[in-house]
Amino acid sequence: MTTTTDLSPLGALRPLLAEIGDAKRVRTAAAPGSLAEQAFGRAWARLLEGEDAEAVALSETAAAVARARLAGIDAPVLTAAGLSDDEAQAVLRRAFDEVAGPLDAELADRLRAALPAVRPAGPPPSLAVALNAQPRAGATSPGKPRVIVEPPESHGDHCLTVAVYGCLLAPALGADPVPPFLVGMAHHLHNVVLPDAGFAGEVLLGGALDRVLGTLEERELAGLPAELADRLRQVLALRADAVAPESQAFHAADVLDRVLQVHHHARAAAFTAAQALDDLELVHAGPVQSFHLDVLAAAGL
């Protein structure tokens, strides 16, 4: 299907999306899993506790934007280090503001205001634990050997990132940011049980594919609170096409995350020591920089 939607705003957002996606690869000592997996579990716990979906979507998306620069430094870490709540929020807002330039102005204001709403939740539900443990297949093609990249991302990594991307892309496509966030969170519920064999595996399932995916997805939805399950069934129907603005926001988020993930692996494979030393100033300016440089020169590095 050819779209007549103006997609030109997406180019300006791409660098920020790539930074946000790096939360799949950043970890802390405080909790298992990547920062994206931690946020995925927390967001599902908040939804299951009955918190308003809009509050979850906006606050978790705002936190993801701030994480682009602060990584695992969040409000609990800052308050544990002696900052007041207001001081901690000021740090988070500085991080948010540093990267939020490409965002739609109205959405950026809503997200910024939602930053303090991120709160600790109960333990992640079993479906989130399973999706955080379930690796994604990566790029596969029917009739061809699988390309293995290490480490693989998890379905929790992917789902949280697609949810955040969908929220951030929504204004450019004229969409409400909440439905794409929810679709992103729930669009791989079937993979709680189904290991991922990628597109090649889906082709081999043939006529059984829709039944397998539908049965497993409904199994997970049936275990959720009725009101949340009904809301998710409603928004998951947006996957069927890319006509409604909310459908376009989800599908744009999904394909951008899949391709940005491939670009990450390509960059990692091509990374050189010279880039770290020269472009990123690994030996950065400071009172011992000259000594560090002398050490490296003496060691032949």
Residue 276 in domain: yes
Instruction: Give the SS3 label for residue 34.
Output: strand
Residue 3 in domain: no
The total number of structural domains in the chain stands at 2
How many other β-carbons are positioned within 10 Å of the β-carbon of residue 285? 6
CA distance 264 to 36: 16
Residue 2 in domain: no
CA distance 265 to 199: 19
Residues 19, 49: one domain? yes
Residues 35, 178: one domain? yes
Of residues 129, 28, 26, 19, the one with CA closest to residue 76: 28
How many other β-carbons are positioned within 10 Å of the β-carbon of residue 29? 6
So what's the pLDDT on residue 4? 64
Residues 266, 296: one domain? no
Residues 177, 242: one domain? yes
Q: How many residues would you count in the chain?
A: 301
CA distance 224 to 110: 28
SS3 content of the chain, % helix, strand, coil (to 5): 70, 0, 30
Residues 51, 168: one domain? yes
pLDDT tens for each residue of the chain, 301 residues long:
556 688 888 899 999 999 999 999 999 999 999 999 999 999 999 999 999 999 999 999 999 999 999 999 999 999 999 999 999 999 999 999 999 999 999 999 999 999 988 888 899 999 999 999 999 998 888 888 888 888 889 999 999 999 999 999 999 999 999 999 999 999 999 999 999 999 999 999 999 999 999 999 999 999 999 999 999 999 999 999 999 999 999 999 999 999 999 888 888 877 788 887 788 788 888 888 888 988 888 878 7
Residues 191, 276: one domain? no
Domain that holds residue 174: 10-134+147-270
Residues 299, 156: one domain? no
Residue 4 in domain: no
Positive or negative torsion for Cα 136, 10, 2, 242: positive
So what's the pLDDT on residue 3? 61
So what's the pLDDT on residue 25? 96
Residues 298, 151: one domain? no
CA distance 258 to 254: 6
Residue 47 in domain: yes
Residues 261, 295: one domain? no
Residue 295 in domain: yes
What are phi and psi for residue 34, nearest 5 degrees?
Answer: -70, 170
Residue 40 in domain: yes
Q: What is the pTM of this model?
A: 0.91
Instruction: Give the SS3 label for residue 41.
Output: helix
Residues 20, 57: one domain? yes
Residues 223, 96: one domain? yes
So what's the pLDDT on residue 265? 83
CA distance 175 to 158: 21
Residue 231 in domain: yes
Of residues 64, 51, 58, the one with CA closest to residue 24: 64
So what's the pLDDT on residue 284? 82
Residues 179, 285: one domain? no
